[in-house]
């Protein structure tokens, strides 16, 4: 089968469109013919080099496609069904997994990180990862959803307990995860303030439901939040940018507010005055992906049409380097997709 694989770490030029061994499912696995696979910033980080990645490697966490074959132990799925994949791997037998806290499993990882992912024509996965999708969703739309949806849901619902009347600042509203976070805020009756880097993206954030927008390249986020909220500031700050926005994110919190973060696309190091943390009784919450419960909860709302996929642009699989460049330059609004 064809795949995008890299044999060394580096820039987009290391991505090679080549023949690899056909994926073969075990008796307890499902073989999926990949129709679409969305990019994440994780793909860029892995391509540049992350600990534990074995070369050569195939990226790809967000997969949709058709079932090509089911292992003989699987009786509730059939060939030809349209599906998407839960974007995580875990052991399924440790205490944390059996408690439903899969993202605390010692073997927990993102699909396509410590194992090969979906930048290929076929992928074999455990039954637990496979979810049939409604006919209304295109393959590109389905692939745009899994990782960002489960992560945003875990951050806002499971970690922060978002509720009606909350004011939420969503950093990077034009990103895949930001576009889902805006919609979750509106679904829960929260006021959403979204940031983006240009006027077109700001308008698109409004179209998704953002009540207020801030140009994070031209405006001071904290000052604008103060004006928008009449100095009340935010109950929740939805962070995934890191070093570049952390100080402004802190300034945007009201006393007792919560800052939740799942990433650091601009750098992992952030400094702050500890006195500000305890005097204002703030909560800093880390969030890593989500549980299978989170995954199924958010997918129910997506399938009901309450949260809509946001697809930016699709590329043929062989043009993966161009897709990486688009994401790396932050040219996208929503998800960049690869089509085998």
pLDDT in tens, 217-234: 999 999 999 999 999 999
Residue range 149-286 in CATH 2.60.40.680: no
- 2-145+309-339 and 149-286 share one fold: no
Whole-structure pTM value: 0.96
What's residue 272's pLDDT? Answer: 87
Q: What is the pLDDT of residue 168?
A: 98
Q: Where are the chain's structural domains?
A: 2-145+309-339, 149-286
Low-confidence ranges of the chain (pLDDT < 70): none
Q: Which fold has domain 2-145+309-339?
A: Quinone Oxidoreductase; Chain A, domain 1 (3.90.180)
**pLDDT value at position 270?**
87
Confidence (pLDDT) at 34 = 98
pLDDT value for 37: 98
Looking at residue 60, its pLDDT comes to 98
Q: What is the pLDDT of residue 57?
A: 98
Phi, psi dihedrals of residue 268, rounded to the nearest 5°: -90, -10
Extract the tokens encoding 156.
């806002």
């Amino acid at each position: 089968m064809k795949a995008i694989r890299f044999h060394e770490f580096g820039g987009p030029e290391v991505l090679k469109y080549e023949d690899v061994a056909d994926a073969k499912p075990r008796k307890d696995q499902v073989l999926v013919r990949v129709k679409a696979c969305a990019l994440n910033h994780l793909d860029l980080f892995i391509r540049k080099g992350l600990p534990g990645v074995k070369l050569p490697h195939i990226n790809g966490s967000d997969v949709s496609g058709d079932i090509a074959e089911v292992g003989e132990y699987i009786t509730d799925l059939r060939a030809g069904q349209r599906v998407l994949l839960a974007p995580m791997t875990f052991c399924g037998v440790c205490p944390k997994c059996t408690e439903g806290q899969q993202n605390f499993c010692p073997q927990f990882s993102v699909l396509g990180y410590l194992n090969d992912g979906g930048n290929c024509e076929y992928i074999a996965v455990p039954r637990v990862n496979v979810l049939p999708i409604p006919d209304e969703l295109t393959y590109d739309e389905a692939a745009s959803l899994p990782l960002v949806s489960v992560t945003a849901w875990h951050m806002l619902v499971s970690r922060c307990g978002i509720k009606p009347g909350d004011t939420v600042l969503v950093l990077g509203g034009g990103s895949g995860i930001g576009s889902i976070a805006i919609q979750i805020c509106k679904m829960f009756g929260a006021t959403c303030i979204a940031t983006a880097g240009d006027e077109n993206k700001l308008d698109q954030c409004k179209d998704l439901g953002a009540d207020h927008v801030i140009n994070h390249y031209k405006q001071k986020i904290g000052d604008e939040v103060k004006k928008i909220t009449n100095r009340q500031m935010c109950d929740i700050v939805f962070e995934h940018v890191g070093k570049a926005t952390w100080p402004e994110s802190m300034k945007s919190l009201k006393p007792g507010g919560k800052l939740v973060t799942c990433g650091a696309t601009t750098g992992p190091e952030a400094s702050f005055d500890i006195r500000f943390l305890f005097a204002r009784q703030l909560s800093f919450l880390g969030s890593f992906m989500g549980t299978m419960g989170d995954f199924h909860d958010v997918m129910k709302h997506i399938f009901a049409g309450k949260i809509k996929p946001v697809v930016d642009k699709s590329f043929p699989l062989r043009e993966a380097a161009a897709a990486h460049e688009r994401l790396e330059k932050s040219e996208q609004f929503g998800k960049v997709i690869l089509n085998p």
